[in-house]
Chains A and B, each alone.
Chain A
Amino acid sequence: MSRTPFDSHNTQEDKSLIIHMRSGDYAAFTLLYNKYIRQLTQYGLKFLPDLPAVEDVLHDVFVWLWTNRQKIDIHSSVKSYLFKSVRTSMLHVLEKQHRLQSLQADEEHTYTFDLQLTPEALVLHNENRRLIRQQIENVLLTLTPKQKEVIYLRYYEGLNFEDIAQSMNLSVKACYKLMGRAIATLRENMVCSLLFVVCCLWFVVYSYRLPGTSCQALYVDHSICNRAL
């Protein structure tokens, strides 16, 4: 797993890399590159699954970082600074592509964030977690790109809410709100699937008793479940 723990030690280490870079230490730049390039590539690909386009963006971001190392002012953490840079550039690319195709080029229309769970084969054989997984998969389909991105940055990349707000140009409050809505959707879905599981169990028991009516029974249960929502 390429997640880097996001603790104060790591933040401190990154800050000292920037200080070394300022005194002309190219090795510090390389260390920073090696530390984050994999995560940044994956992040960029979420906006647009086009590796050469992501490569161009990453190239520009890192060249810019080195050439402007004396000037850059990193308020929060280096990690969130890099994520923010990649995000801004990727949105530019999306905007440009979209402008070629249609006249609508505002963020609402161009912004995509493709988020999927890892294929089933890699997941533990834990019943509880498999259930949660299925629910998350369903929820992901209903979330907006922004909500998906907040989830990705908070739970996967470990950025804190303040940094996420910074990198997504949101207020911290708006960031909490987005998160809250995403979690609410998640919880609703959990209640739904819990109901569904109960219905299924009941159906299994029922169908054992009355063979032959199973199909109908399933449809009935399903509609009950839906109505319950």
Chain B
Amino acid sequence: MHELNNHKPQTTNHKLIVIKNKDIEITMDKYKEYQIDDFLRDESFINWVLDPEGANNQAWAKWMNANPANKETAQKAIDTIRSFDFKKEPVADDFYTNLKLRIDNTIANEQLVTVARKPVVRLWWKAAAVVAGLLIGAGVLYYVRKPSYTFISTPYAAIKTVLLPDSSEVVLNANSSIRFNANRTGSKREVWVTGEAFFKVRHLEQAGKAQPFAVYAGDAVIEVLGTEFNVKSVNNTTGVLLRQGKVRFSIPASHSTTIMQPNDYCQYNASQGEIITRGANPVLFTSWMEQKYRFEKTPVQEICTTLKEYFGYDFIIRKPELATQPISGTLELQNEQVMLRILSELLNAKVTREGNQVIIE
């Protein structure tokens, strides 16, 4: 109810009376003297009219019922506010989708250059291309001399392969990013990940000692000595699948650590607070690199979460019993329409996409 006191210009010493009656918890004397423009200036009143179901807005409905004498004035104010329904210019849905693609592209390209640039206007693109060339040249010089971070990310529905300065390989899944020190001469190899990435780490030795390679993902640190593994770090949960070699998976904050063997899958979630390890089929965790998504006895809800991470759509399951049903199969991710059709066949349900939502019913 604090919102109802926000009315600033005419703050007078009005009384706030608390009535014990449960239906009307608080009445506000000042509102009884309100004229139409007082209502039109009252923040809490406007908020109520715009959003009658809103969290702090219920009190006004009660007030209206309790004060029939003021109802007419208030109703006029309500009608006035509701009449402010302004003309919308027709804009096709395509406009929003294409604009988002354009933004995604600009962001993906900008992040390849480590030096910060101002956003460019379309007219300036040609000039910007020349400048970018110079910047990359300068960047190369810079990178030989000083440590600097490179940040690479992928938009939705696209996979990227990145070669690290030590020629280790990283395959980035859609909607993911990595950051690494672009300085090749450093003794430590470190990479920060959000989203999902597959690593093929080159085994390097320096003065007879293996050079360490560390991946930071969420709360987790994965330390390796030449190996292949998959990291996924989404919504505070970090999962690692080891395909080859040996890695140490540790959570510095909770002082827990474990050594992983090939085909081990380790998961850590801040709320569960401990590392869970189990054997797993590596194919299920790495099929995304072939732009496929394979799953075995996976609940539909979980499949939808993974697809949401890849495509960026909100998946809405209209049949609650379907959400928990385990499903096995493979989805090709390259062609969205084909994916949706196969999903519909797998689930034996109607799957339709409307704008940014995929509805399953």
Contact = CB atoms under 8 A, between A and B. Distances in A.
Given A26-B176, A27-B308, A117-B83, 14 more contacts: A26-B155, A33-B100, A33-B103, A37-B99, A37-B100, A58-B99, A126-B79, A152-B86, A155-B50, A160-B6, A183-B37, A184-B37, A186-B37, A187-B37
Interface stretch (A49-57, A104-112, A207-215): A49-57
Interface of A: 1-3, 5-9, 23-27, 30, 33-34, 37-38, 41-42, 45, 49, 51, 55-56, 58-60, 62-64, 66-67, 115-119, 122-123, 126, 128-129, 132-133, 136, 151-152, 154-156, 158, 160-161, 172, 176, 179-180, 183-184, 186-187
Q: Which of A24, A66, A126 has the largest number of chain B CB atoms within 10 A?
A: A24
A176 B8 CA distance: 9
A23 to B, nearest CB: 6
A136 B87 contact: no
B38 to A, nearest CB: 10
B102 interface: yes
A115 B37 contact: no
Given A60-B119, A136-B83, A49 B155 contact: no
Contacts of A26: 153, 155-156, 175-177, 195
Contact of A176 (B9, B80, B84, B119): B9
A129 B87 CA distance: 17
Contact of A63 (B84, B86, B119, B179): B119
A-B CB proximity, top 8 nearest: A5-B51, A24-B194, A155-B84, A60-B119, A116-B87, A7-B54, A183-B37, A45-B89
A34 B355 CA distance: 10
Contacts of B55: 7-9
Contacts of B106: 59, 63
Contacts of A158: 46-47, 50-51
Residues of A contacting B: mostly: helix
B146 interface: no
Interface of B: 6, 8-9, 36-37, 40-41, 43, 46-47, 50-51, 53-57, 76, 79-89, 91, 95-96, 99-100, 102-103, 106-107, 110, 116, 119, 121-122, 153, 155-156, 175-177, 179, 194-195, 308-309, 312, 356
Contacts of B79: 126, 128-129, 132
B278 to A, nearest CB: 26
A122 B102 CA distance: 34
Contacts of B50: 3, 5-6, 155, 158
A65 to B, nearest CB: 9
Contacts, number: 155
A24 B153 contact: yes
Contacts of A62: 103
9 contacts: A2-B88, A6-B47, A7-B54, A45-B91, A55-B102, A63-B110, A115-B86, A117-B85, A129-B83
B314 to A, nearest CB: 9
A171 to B, nearest CB: 12
A5 B194 CA distance: 31
